[in-house]
Amino acid sequence: MHILVCGGTGCSASGSREVIAQLNKELEAHNLTDFARVVVTGCFGFCERGPIVKIIPDNTFYTKVKPEDAKEIVEEHIIKGRKVQRLLYVAPDTNKSVSDSKHMEFYKKQVRIALRNCGFIDPENIDESIARDGYAALGKCLFEMTPQQVIEEIKKSGLRGRGGGGFPTGLKWEIASKSRVGEKKYVVCNADEGDPGAFMDRSLLEGDPHSILEAMAICGYCIGSDHGLIYIRAEYPLAIHRLQVAIKQAEEVGLLGQDILGSGFNFTIELRYGAGAFVCGEETALIHSMEGHRGEPTFKPPFPAQSGYLKQPTNVNNVETFANIPVIINKGADWFASIGSEKSKGTKVFALAGKINNVGLIEVPMGITLREIIYEIGGGIKGGKKFKAVQTGGPSGGCLTEKHLDTPVDYDTLIAAGSMMGSGGMIVMDEDDCMVSIAKFYLGFTVEESCGKCTPCRVGNKRLLEILTKITEGKGTMQDLDDLRNLATVIKDTALCGLGQTSPNPVLSTMSNFWDEYVEHVTEKKCRAGQCKALKQYIIDPALCKGCTACARACPVSAISGTVKNPHVIDQSKCIKCGTCYEKCKFGAISIK
């Protein structure tokens, strides 16, 4: 039997390493090491309930496993074949425990192509990767296909860049292959994942590093490059470690390095660490950062394919894009193109976060509806609250609402709906979220991360943030709303790079979908979600106030006046909305409006 334990960042943080140690100890104590073994895998995607332990062959799916549960799992399940009921996943809709992963709603609608090996193999063992067709696609390309044939296959598959832009990958490779033939070229993997709430690339690199290395080598073969670089954030230590192990193993067996498989093709890969600047996800900024310069974007053209890293032709692809390549080569472009929607082929990995029951990593075919993602895979909104919006595309994307729930998710429909695919962050919001504050949050992020090179992004976004702050503080006017919209449109038209051009999207999309909420903040000075602190009013109900003076004594700014045994009053001009009086009142006389 195999006991698969998630060793991704999410589960490691909730203690999977101790679980692994304890399971091994128990197996040894019962002399079962020949019969069962513990395999440390990548992410299962069900991060909400980690650490995850999956027993093979019966697919039993244990959630929130603690080190002290190891004894029971070994003694009951491994020895006696009895499932440990209390550790099984309980479906939120039926309240019944689910015996194995095949019956979990979370997995039923998923199609795992990029994540095919995540949660299945031991990422630090190249043999397990090879058993799952690892490097088979590279072998096929090197011996049975010409670079042009490989490019044609990728083009035919309809694969588009998964980093956000959605540019056709095959076309990108073709341009790079035709650019300055015979000169030194580079393959770059963009693993600078920076959207708030996104962890797709990290999980992929942690769970299946060999697929990325293989795909980079295939790309090198196609465009005529012998060297690859992975630009990864230094704050992903586990992903870096797994990549280092994988590169070392691949070099040892000769699947990377000189004369791969005796084909005469050479390819080496090195890692470059980023310091975690959002703008470095933009390809020109990424290249500058790799060269040791400031991470600032430059104007395109020239595109990296013409003049990229060290002024040489460079092909930059995102981690998830690479993860799809070996499967396309092995299974064929037609197979890949049969999945997904008309203009967006294949699947997309999303990181589900926010007010949703099943926070985690999912991979779904393009064209699935938001409703299926949120209510079936995601298990619905937390605490039975009402769905309000879902933010896709991170700080460059927008909010989609109830009316978009049945929109099929692909590159083009999301743009038509005023958002974008982005790299795959999906943050769900409920009725307690204030949309003006959400826009303010994303703008705060953009202002913080703006590299400062072009004025529209550096100054314009700052002004946008100021106006938004003014509105959430109840000082906004209708003129501000006009200014907000005009300024946002100007930034969109004039900023230098893709990040600047998309940075006002959260403002524009919340304005078009939640206009009445903006107006309410301005004209009625009201925040219906109760999130804008400055718009809250603490009011004492004179009928309930006993005049005990507890609130007046506690108020840090002496905003409460009144005499003993007589109703008190809060001076709204002095009040700083700290909520102390509300907590102190024993009679429930203070309410928030």
Partner 1 sequence: MDKIRNLAELRKLKSNMVDKLQLRENSDSSEAIIQIKVGMATSGIASGAKETMSHLIEELDRRKIKALVLQVGDMGYSHAEPTIEVTIPGKDPVVFGKVDTAKADEIIEKYIVNGELVEGILPANYRSI
Name residues contacting partner 1, limited to 206-265 (CB under 8 A): 249, 252-255, 261-262
Quick count: other Cβ atoms within 10 Å of Cβ 452?
A: 11
Q: Per CB under 8 A, does 56 bind partner 1?
A: yes
Task: Give the nearest distance from C-beta 37 to partner 1 in angstroms.
Answer: 10
Task: Give the nearest distance from C-beta 531 to partner 1 in angstroms.
Answer: 44
- Consecutive H or E run containing 98: strand 97-98
Task: Give the nearest distance from C-beta 113 to partner 1 in angstroms.
Answer: 14
Quick count: other Cβ atoms within 10 Å of Cβ 342?
A: 11
Q: Per CB under 8 A, does 84 bind partner 1?
A: no
* Whole-angstrom distance, CA of residue 18 vs CA of residue 23: 9
Q: Of the listed pieces 78-86, 211-219, 489-497, 552-560, which binds partner 1 according to CB under 8 A?
A: 78-86
Task: Give the nearest distance from C-beta 103 to partner 1 in angstroms.
Answer: 12
Q: Per CB under 8 A, does 516 bind partner 1?
A: no
DSSP 83: -
* Whole-angstrom distance, CA of residue 281 vs CA of residue 479: 35
Q: Of the listed pieces 135-143, 478-486, 521-529, 533-541, which binds partner 1 according to CB under 8 A?
A: 135-143
Between 39 and 171, CB nearer to partner 1: 39
Kind of pairing between the strands at 53-56 and 37-41? unpaired
417 close to 514: Cβ distance less than 8 angstroms:
no
Q: Per CB under 8 A, does 412 bind partner 1?
A: no
Q: Per CB under 8 A, does 80 bind partner 1?
A: yes
Rg over CA atoms, the chain? 27
Between 23 and 287, CB nearer to partner 1: 23
* Whole-angstrom distance, CA of residue 71 vs CA of residue 365: 39
Task: Give the nearest distance from C-beta 446 to partner 1 in angstroms.
Answer: 42
Between 121 and 325, CB nearer to partner 1: 121
* Whole-angstrom distance, CA of residue 370 vs CA of residue 408: 7
* Whole-angstrom distance, CA of residue 74 vs CA of residue 78: 5
Name residues contacting partner 1, limited to 92-131 (CB under 8 A): 102, 120-121, 126-128, 130-131
Number of residues that bind partner 1 (CB under 8 A): 33
Between 56 and 557, CB nearer to partner 1: 56
Q: Is 108 exposed, middle or buried (0-12, 13-18, 19+ CB in 10 A)?
A: exposed
Q: Residue 86 to residues 65, 96, 195, 360: CA-CA distances in angstroms?
A: 10, 11, 36, 22
**Of the residues 66, 82, 86, 574, which one makes contact with partner 1 according to CB under 8 A:** 82
Q: Per CB under 8 A, does 133 bind partner 1?
A: yes
Residues at the interface with partner 1 (CB under 8 A): 1-2, 4, 35, 56-59, 80-82, 102, 120-121, 126-128, 130-133, 135-136, 139, 142-143, 249, 252-255, 261-262
